[in-house]
Amino acid sequence: MNDSPVLVSIQGLKKHFPITRGLLLRRQVNAVKAVDGISFDILRGETLGLVGESGCGKTTAGRAILQIQRPTAGTVVFKGLDLTAQRGESLRAIRRYIQMIFQDPFASLDPRWTISRIIGEPLRVHQIGTPQERQARVEELMELVGLDRMFNNRYPHECSGGQRQRIGIARALASTPDFIVCDEPITALDVSIQAQIVNLLEALQDRLGLTYLFIAHDLSMVRHLCDRVAVMYLGTLVELGGRDELYRYPLHPYTRALLSAVSVPDPVKTRSRPRLPLTGELPSPINPPAGCRFHPRCPQATPECQTRTPVWHESSPGHWVACCLAK
Amino acid sequence: MTQAASLLEVRDLVVEFRTLEGVVHAVNGVSFRIRAGETLGIVGESGCGKSVSALSVLRLIPQPPGKIVSGRVDFDGRDLLQLPKAEMQAVRGRAIGMVFQDPMTCLNPVLTVGRQISETMTVHLGLGREEARRQTLSLLEMVGIPTPELRCDDYPHHFSGGMRQRAMIAMALSCDPKLLIADEPTTALDVTIQSQILELVKRQRDRRNMAVIWISHDLSVIAELADRVVVMYAGFIVEEADVFKLYREPRHPYTQALLDSIPHMDTAGPEELRVIPGSPPDAMSLPPGCPFAPRCTFAFDRCQRENPPLSSAGRDHTAACWVVAAKRKPP
């Protein structure tokens, strides 16, 4: 074990989905470049937010990091081990320490399994403990996430959305992971339940020393929860920085537009906020625009932006940006 | 404001769904009104009855299992609940336009977008094909769809989510309605597209002096465009006030808790979000007293027994809460 502050290091990660044509002579005609070369570090014990519009590749990025979908290129180094180079048994062994909480608490739980079987599955898969110890661990996990023990033998359909998400969290925690990718864990929940789950995630992090990659599109919740925030646009990172720095002094025009589009629950403030409207919609990730991918929608684009690909660089300590206009 | 000035007045609306498992009490005596040109926000969590209330105005809830048990819906001097079917048909899409949450399931996938928009106008306004197409093109342009003459003949699956919602708005506005009912129209959209749609609706509302009922679970969106806000919980209205007042001085414990449970992006909020313990009651077996009492930190014995009526909580401000009623000093 090393003492480096970096828990997960991602370099040049790409995930392309091929588009093929022809039945017998299948050939690849193009690719959906869902994630197209992203590099960043996730620090031990932090919550890193990954935000962007739908279709920007944030979920695919999370899945590629965990090797749920094998990346097309790039490396993911976790505790000194390159996950992209692992196969079979060695990859299975490492999965114990990297887990995921899914967006849809309805689709991610097997409807025919009891709650205790769902939560205990990672323990069985990784052959942790005896059956009795596993059952005890399941009960401990249920208590940890605030689920009543009477749910033990119930089925997912008997639970509310918030309870299902607690089950998903308990399952992710079962094998005592170090790193959890939370893929929009609160999006499908009601407002009053969202706060319960967010507080639970925070409490668990304090208690168990977890590291989160928190994928979300709710920028208010990200500001509340995350230590650092990365902004993604069309398969690439456009900005990454400390939470307060990024929200106060966004460098990339896309980050600025994204932040200005958020409504706040205060009629006086929200109606007086200056808006930087984004025109148009996300271009296709099959043929992303040349140069800077944001230039067709960028209010500050110069002719140079159409041809020059911006370099991902550290503009000030800890504040990364990819924009030709940002110093 | 006098009663006569109301464009729409819903009184004591009760809606039930009679299912095999039992009767779901979706809306339990809801009254609200809206004046011409005014925007009413209806806010609440899923299952609180906000959509059912709005759909009942247009008699769009499936009957059976749904049933509008009692109440009146006065629109422009007529009780919509008593209208014959054919006359009701003439109100829908004509005097009252509607925009739904999921534009993909509301557009017909086998008809072009242009045809669906023109259809509204040929049916309600008796326009000819040529004229309807001309109007459709200008509507599509108005809602911000680029090159409408090309996109008009596209099918809904060619459109992105934001564009479908624009097309739905174009359709809803095509007959120049007096009232637009929008049921969570931006929930499925990204913040950037949401803010475009909000701007579009605001602009059209102001230009046409159109009244809007905007249903949402998102307090930030309601803060953005409502004039007055109704907060619903378990099929009851628990608070109603002017938008500025409601966010500044929420009186009902539920509204207060709801506002405290969401992070405010512009201010460094409290470390921990306030949590409303438990979850909303089952609409099949509502508690006898105040529906929020089991989750309320201020609840006392009366709250468990009797359901509080809406009572004054300040000027133009009502709340259904025994605690508020007890504290209220005479003005």
A221 interfacial to chain B (CB closer than 8 Å):
yes
- Among A70-74, A96-100, A179-183, B154-158, which is the least confidently predicted range? B154-158
Looking at the structure, tell me whether residues B106 and B146 fall in a common domain. Answer: yes
**Per-residue pLDDT at A60 exceeds 50:** yes
Instruction: Write down the pTM of the prediction.
Output: 0.86
Residue B11: pLDDT band with limits 50, 70, 90? very high
| Residue B164: CA count within 13 A, CB half-sphere | 21
B160 interfacial to chain A (CB closer than 8 Å):
yes
Residue among B161, B259, B280 whose CB faces A265 most closely: B259
Mean pLDDT rounded to a whole number for chain B: 88
Range B296-307 average pLDDT: 90
- Amino acid (1-letter code) at residue B45: E
Q: Tell me the pLDDT tens digit for each residue of B14-44.
A: 999 998 888 999 999 999 999 999 999 999 9
Residue B1: pLDDT band with limits 50, 70, 90? very low
Asked if A160 lies within 8 A of B274 by C-beta distance, the reply is no
Residue matched to tokens 């230590």: A227
Domain assignment present for residue B141? The answer is yes
Sketch out chain A's domains with CATH numbers: 6-97+177-321 (3.40.50.300)
Domain assignment present for residue B240? The answer is no
pLDDT computed for residue B327 by the predictor: 76
DSSP per residue, B223-264: HHH-SEEEEEETTEEEEEEEHHHHHHS--SHHHHHHHHTS--
Domain assignment present for residue B243? The answer is no
Asked if A269 lies within 8 A of B224 by C-beta distance, the reply is no
- Of all residues in chain B, what percent carry a pLDDT higher than 90? 45
B193 interfacial to chain A (CB closer than 8 Å):
yes
Output phi, psi for B184, to 5 deg: 45, 50
**Per-residue pLDDT at B3 exceeds 60:** no
Looking at the structure, tell me whether residues B305 and B224 fall in a common domain. Answer: no
> How far is residue A310's CA from residue B196's CA, in Å, rounded to a whole number?
27
> How far is residue A310's CA from residue A299's CA, in Å, rounded to a whole number?
16
Give which of B147, B166, B44 is closest to B107, Cα–Cα. B166
| CB-CB contact of B15 with B69 (8 Å) | yes
Looking at the structure, tell me whether residues B191 and B267 fall in a common domain. Answer: no
Looking at the structure, tell me whether residues B284 and B153 fall in a common domain. Answer: no
* Probe site for chain A from B189, B190, B254 (most A CB atoms < 10 A): B190
Residue B270: pLDDT band with limits 50, 70, 90? low
Domain assignment present for residue B15? The answer is yes
The residue among B233, B261, B285 that closes a domain is: B233
Looking at the structure, tell me whether residues B128 and B197 fall in a common domain. Answer: yes
**Per-residue pLDDT at A260 exceeds 70:** yes
Looking at the structure, tell me whether residues B82 and B225 fall in a common domain. Answer: yes
A196 interfacial to chain B (CB closer than 8 Å):
yes
B220 neighbourhood in chain A, CB within 8 Å: 220, 262-265, 270
pLDDT computed for residue A25 by the predictor: 80
Range B317-329 average pLDDT: 83
Domain that holds residue B127: 3-233
Residue matched to tokens 């500044």: B248
ipTM for this prediction: 0.80
pLDDT computed for residue B283 by the predictor: 85
**Per-residue pLDDT at A77 exceeds 90:** yes
- CA closest to B219 among chain A residues: A265
Residue matched to tokens 């609306």: B13
> How far is residue B182's CA from residue B297's CA, in Å, rounded to a whole number?
33
Residue A327: pLDDT band with limits 50, 70, 90? low
Domain assignment present for residue B193? The answer is yes
* Probe site for chain A from B163, B273, B296, B297 (most A CB atoms < 10 A): B273
- CA closest to A53 among chain B residues: B190
pLDDT computed for residue B268 by the predictor: 56
- CA closest to A201 among chain B residues: B272
pLDDT computed for residue A238 by the predictor: 96
Closest-CA distance, A79 to chain B, in angstroms, reads 30
- CA closest to B259 among chain A residues: A265
Closest-CA distance, B92 to chain A, in angstroms, reads 30
- Among A255-269, B263-277, B285-299, which is the least confidently predicted range? B263-277
Asked if A219 lies within 8 A of B265 by C-beta distance, the reply is yes
DSSP per residue, B7-46: EEEEEEEEEEEEETTEEEEEEEEEEEEEETT-EEEEE--T
Domain count, chain B: 2
> What CATH code is carried by the domain that includes residue B188?
3.40.50.300
Looking at the structure, tell me whether residues B202 and B272 fall in a common domain. Answer: no
Looking at the structure, tell me whether residues B53 and B163 fall in a common domain. Answer: yes
How many interchain CB pairs under 8 A, A with B? Answer: 123
Domain assignment present for residue B242? The answer is no
**Per-residue pLDDT at A148 exceeds 70:** yes
Please identify among residues 293-322 of chain A the ones whose CB lies closer than 8 Å to any CB of chain B. Answer: none
Closest-CA distance, A129 to chain B, in angstroms, reads 34
> How far is residue A63's CA from residue A61's CA, in Å, rounded to a whole number?
5
**Per-residue pLDDT at B330 exceeds 70:** no
A199 neighbourhood in chain B, CB within 8 Å: 272-273, 275
Give which of B29, B15, B33, B61 is closest to B237, Cα–Cα. B29
Range B65-94 average pLDDT: 90
pLDDT computed for residue A151 by the predictor: 85
Residue A70: pLDDT band with limits 50, 70, 90? very high
Q: Give kind and range of the element (H or E) at residue A286.
A: none
Looking at the structure, tell me whether residues B65 and B192 fall in a common domain. Answer: yes
**Per-residue pLDDT at A67 exceeds 70:** yes
Looking at the structure, tell me whether residues B66 and B197 fall in a common domain. Answer: yes
Looking at the structure, tell me whether residues B176 and B90 fall in a common domain. Answer: yes
B116 interfacial to chain A (CB closer than 8 Å):
no
Asked if A217 lies within 8 A of B190 by C-beta distance, the reply is yes
Within its chain, how far is the Cα of B26 from the centroid?
A: 15
Closest-CA distance, A285 to chain B, in angstroms, reads 14
Asked if B258 lies within 8 A of A191 by C-beta distance, the reply is yes
Domain assignment present for residue B96? The answer is yes
B195 interfacial to chain A (CB closer than 8 Å):
yes
A140 interfacial to chain B (CB closer than 8 Å):
no
Domain assignment present for residue B9? The answer is yes
Helices marked H in chain A — which ranges?
58-65, 88-95, 115-125, 131-144, 161-173, 191-208, 219-225, 243-248, 253-260, 267-272
B76 interfacial to chain A (CB closer than 8 Å):
no
Closest-CA distance, B101 to chain A, in angstroms, reads 14
Residue among A202, A219, A223 whose CB faces B191 most closely: A219
B276 neighbourhood in chain A, CB within 8 Å: 192, 195-196
Residue B4: pLDDT band with limits 50, 70, 90? very low
Looking at the structure, tell me whether residues B161 and B284 fall in a common domain. Answer: no
| CB-CB contact of B39 with B205 (8 Å) | yes
> How far is residue B253's CA from residue B298's CA, in Å, rounded to a whole number?
8
Q: Tell me the pLDDT tens digit for each residue of B205-242.
A: 999 899 999 999 999 999 999 999 999 999 999 999 99
Please identify among residues 227-256 of chain A the ones whose CB lies closer than 8 Å to any CB of chain B. Answer: 244, 247
Report the residue count for chain A.
327
Please identify among residues 70-129 of chain A the ones whose CB lies closer than 8 Å to any CB of chain B. Answer: none
> How far is residue B220's CA from residue B202's CA, in Å, rounded to a whole number?
15
